Amino acid sequence: MRFLARRLGFYLLTAWAAVTLNFLIPRLMPGDPVELLVARMKGNVDPAAIDAMRRAFGISDANLWQQYLDYLGNLAQGELGRSITFFPTEVSTVIADSLPWTVGLVGVATLISYLVGTSLGVLMAWKRGTWLDGVLPAATFMHAVPYFWVALALVFVFGVTLQWFPVSRAYGLAVMPGFTGEFAGSVLYHAALPAVTIVVASMADRILGMRNVMVTTLGEDYVVMAEAKGLTSRRVMWAYAARNAILPNITSFALSLGFVVGGSVLTEIVFSYPGIGSMLLKGVENEDFPLMQGIFLVISLAVLVANFLADLAYVVLDPRTRQESE
């Protein structure tokens, strides 16, 4: 388990880096964030509120090191400051309310996109030279498309013009949240278009990546050997070639997670989906720095956890990482 321990150590270091960046950014950027805020509000701020903000940012007369220790102490207790948008609600409460929506939507969509995209990549490499090659130009195009633009286009076609799907909120106005079939149905119905957006926008990378690795793998001797032995195509394709080609694919998938989450955040905004992304927009609109920073931290940690899960999958798939003997 040396591999996992090393990865875990790296993620802890990265989490520390994210926390420290969060602490340093307001202090290193030119100007005082509180004064910036007051200037943007054109001076219409209560002096007491200014004082509260200063405390929320943890900006005091103490030296930087003391401020840093205080900041870490607060963070350890889950204290992220108070949101300016939803004053006096704690940032942690705002995030706790919206995080499940995002994790559900982005988690499921990313999983679907990974499974479908990778399978398509395997098939396209296997059936090279057939009509499936026609997917390549489309994938090349989709690979650079902004997520929120796909969202806008889907809303326009399926939401506004055809009116097949709802275009905002996470569940219907008439439905009461609860563990009922009706509520679950409404949630799924409302999540359909945002999920399709994320799947469509993120799948191209998986297709292209998997195809390229798979094509290289198909030229390996052991694949030719498997074919020579007379194994079924299916067995050669999945158990011999794809099984090996998937390893670099998992690594690149883990690295692309940050990008997928960034795109999903913007997708939520188009759909007014009540997740982290919509909260981020509110934070941006109201110059709500504590909220923006809290969200950055939570998203970073979520991506790190997802990366660790990808590492676990890697360990399951690659026996070499499980070898204990040095």
Partner 1 sequence: MKIKIGAGILVFFTLMAVFGPLLIGADPAATSDDGLQGPSAAHWLGTTQTGQDILTQIVYGARVSMGVGLLSAVIANVFAVAVGLVGGYLGGAVDEVLSVLTNIFLVLPALPLIIVLAGYLPQRGVASVAVVIAVTGWAWGARVLRAQTLSVRRRDFVQAARASGEGAFRIIFFEILPVLLPVIATSFLATVVAAILAEAGLSFLGLADLSTVSWGSMLYFAQNGQALLIGAWWWFIPPGLCIALIGTGLALVNFGIDEIANPRLRTVKTVKVKART
Q: Of the candidates 105, 201, 192, 209, which has an alpha carbon nearest to the alpha carbon of residue 150?
A: 201
CB proximity list for 304: less than 8 A, separation 6 or greater: 11, 14, 15
The two counts, helices (H) then strands (E), for the chain are 13, 0
Residue 8 DSSP one-character state:
H
Is the CB of 40 or the CB of 182 nearer to partner 1?
40
Select from 59-67, 242-250, 286-294, 317-325 the region that touches partner 1 (CB under 8 A). 286-294
Give the nearest distance from C-beta 188 to partner 1 in angstroms. Answer: 23
Q: Does 51 bind partner 1 (CB under 8 A)?
A: no
Least distance in angstroms from the C-beta of 110 to partner 1: 13
Q: Are 3 and 282 in contact (CB under 8 A)?
A: no
Interaction residues for partner 1, span 197-216 (CB under 8 A): 208, 212, 215-216
Distance of closest approach, residue 177 Cβ to partner 1, in angstroms: 26
Q: Which position among 122, 193, 207, 265 is part of the footprint of partner 1 (CB under 8 A)?
A: 265
CB of 208 to partner 1, least distance (A): 8
Q: How far is the CB of 98 from partner 1 (least distance, A)?
A: 14
Q: What residues have CB less than 8 Å from 233, skipping those under 6 apart?
A: 126
Instruction: Give helix 91-126 / helix 276-285 axis angle, nearest 10°.
Output: 130
Given the complex with partner 1, which of 274 and 277 has the nearer CB atom?
Answer: 277
Q: Site for partner 1 (CB under 8 A): how many residues? A: 71
Cβ-based nearer residue to partner 1, 92 or 212: 212
Query: Cα(224)–Cα(221) distance, rounded to whole angstroms?
Result: 5
x/- binding map, residues 52-91, to partner 1, per CB under 8 A?
----------------------------------------
DSSP state of 32: -
- In angstroms, rounded to a whole number, what is the distance separating the alpha carbons of residues 156 and 139? 22
DSSP codes of every residue in 283-297: HHHTT-HHHHHHHHH
Cα separations in angstroms, 245 against 159, 161, 222, 241: 39, 42, 13, 6
Each residue 211-250 as x (binds partner 1 by CB under 8 A) or -, in order, gives -x--xx-xx----x--x-----x-----------------
Of the pair 170, 241, the CB lying nearest partner 1 is at 241
Among 250, 281, 305, 313, binds partner 1 (CB under 8 A): 281
Mask: binding to partner 1, 125-164, rule CB under 8 A, as x and -? Answer: ---xx---x--x---xxxxxxx-xx--xx-xx--xxx---
Binding to partner 1 (CB under 8 A): which residues in 1-30? 10-11, 13-14, 17-18, 21-22, 25-26, 29-30
Alpha-helix runs per DSSP H in 29-46: 33-40
Residue closer to partner 1 (CB basis): 191 or 265: 265
Pick between residue 156 and residue 317 the one whose CB is nearest to partner 1.
156
Amino acid letter for position 217: T
Q: Which residues, listed in sequence order, are joined to residue 90 by a DSSP beta bridge?
A: 82
Identified binder of partner 1 from the candidate list 95, 261, 279, 311, rule CB under 8 A: 261
Q: What is the CA radius of gyration of the chain?
A: 24
